Chains A and B, each alone.
Chain A
Amino acid sequence: DVKVTQSSRYLVKRTGEKVFLECVQDMDHENMFWYRQDPGLGLRLIYFSYDVKMKEKGDIPEGYSVSREKKERFSLILESASTNQTSMYLCASSSLGREQKETQYFGPGTRLLVL
Chain B
Amino acid sequence: AQKVTQAQTEISVVEKEDVTLDCVYETRDTTYYLFWYKQPPSGELVFLIRRNSFDEQNEISGRYSWNFQKSTSSFNFTITASQVVDSAVYFCALSDVMDSNYQLIWGAGTKLIIKP
Show the binding face of A for B, using Cβ within 8 Å: 31, 33, 42-43, 45, 48, 50, 56, 58, 88, 90, 92, 94, 100-109, 111
Contact = CB atoms under 8 A, between A and B. Distances in A.
Interface string B7-42: 000000000000000000000000001010100001
B109 A42 contact: yes
Interface size class of B (residues with CB under 8 A): 20 to 34
Contacts of A56: 101
Given A45-B103, A101-B33, A103-B33, 16 more contacts: A33-B103, A42-B106, A42-B107, A50-B102, A56-B101, A88-B43, A90-B43, A92-B45, A100-B50, A102-B50, A102-B104, A103-B35, A104-B47, A106-B46, A107-B44, A109-B45
Q: For the complex, would chain A's binding face be called helix, strand, loop or mixed by DSSP majority?
A: strand
Q: For the complex, would chain B's binding face be called helix, strand, loop or mixed by DSSP majority?
A: loop
A42 B108 contact: yes
Interface of B: 33, 35, 37, 42-47, 50, 91, 95, 100-104, 106-109
B50 A108 contact: no
Given A42-B109, A45-B103, A106 B44 contact: yes
